[in-house]
Amino acid sequence: MEKRISDSVINRLPRYYRHLTDLLESGTERISSRELSEKMNITASQIRQDLNCFGGFGQQGYGYNVELLRNEIAKILGLTQGYTAILIGAGHMGRTFATNTKFESRGFRLIGIFDTDSKKIGQEVARHTIRDYREVGSFIEEHQPQMAILAVPKDAMHNVAEEMIAYGIRAFLNFSYTELSREDEDIVVENVHLSDSLMRLSYKLLENNKKNTVTSQK
């Protein structure tokens, strides 16, 4: 079952995974594409098309087996690999991410939070004691996390990333309001730019206003 899955399907998979997890936790065993469609606010035909990529989980008239489908998506997303992550930066961004992300139910373990600010070191965040960034090298050597989550100031990001790479980290989730871009084939990066979402909302609002104007002119 090795097929190439398109980027836009991959981009939607985390959302499917979240909704299926909610359904499972509320005890739902099966769901039709129509019900899932209403819950997720996307068309049933889009859902059928997306989930067909993984084959065999939807049966005409019976819907999807929630647990099987969720487990298959988890496997595709690598959530069954037991990846561990460290968080660099315990400012507002780092704290909100550490506190609100359900790491375990997404298949991850957050194993350490680091900062350079002596006022923050020793504080508790999301049941972790913030560690001194100067110890990050030996920590990585000992615990071998696969991922680093960067929530550091813009100006510090590139230096921190280079240090993490030197310590052997190969996957970065970057919240630092500036893009990390690496040519190296063996390094993967997910840049999150929060202001992009504001621009996407702006687009939707403008389109909606155009539509409403057209409607009211009829």
Binding track, positions 26-55, relative to its own copies; x by CB under 8 A: -------------xxx--------------
- DSSP element (H, E) containing 30: strand 30-31
Choose the binding region for its own copies from 27-35, 131-139, 156-164, 183-191 (rule: CB under 8 A).
183-191
Instruction: Kindly state the smallest distance separating residue 70's Cβ from its own copies, in Å.
Output: 12
From residue 1, alpha-carbon distances to 6, 58, 93, 121 in Å are 15, 16, 39, 47
Does position 15 interact with its own copies (CB under 8 A)? The reply is yes
Choose the binding region for its own copies from 27-35, 57-65, 101-109, 115-123 (rule: CB under 8 A).
101-109
Coil, strand or helix: which one is 196?
A: helix
| Sequence-ordered strand ranges (E) for 98-193 | 109-115, 124-125, 128-129, 131-132, 147-150, 171-174, 188-191
Residue 147 neighbours by CB distance under 10 Å = 20
- DSSP element (H, E) containing 154: helix 154-166
Does position 107 interact with its own copies (CB under 8 A)? The reply is yes
Does position 128 interact with its own copies (CB under 8 A)? The reply is no
Task: State both tokens at 105.
Answer: 């139910």
Instruction: Kindly state the smallest distance separating residue 137's Cβ from its own copies, in Å.
Output: 21
Does position 96 interact with its own copies (CB under 8 A)? The reply is yes
Phi-psi region of 135 (alpha: psi -120 to 50; beta: other; left: phi over 0): alpha
Among 93, 113, 152, 160, binds its own copies (CB under 8 A): 93
Does position 213 interact with its own copies (CB under 8 A)? The reply is no
For its own copies, which is the closer residue by CB, 37 or 116? 37
The answer to whether the CB of 54 falls within 8 A of the CB of 72 is yes
Interacting residues with its own copies (CB under 8 A): 7-8, 10-11, 13-15, 17-18, 39-41, 76-79, 81, 83, 85, 91-93, 95-97, 99-102, 106-108, 146-147, 149, 154, 170-173, 175, 177, 181, 183, 185-186, 188-190, 192-206, 208, 212
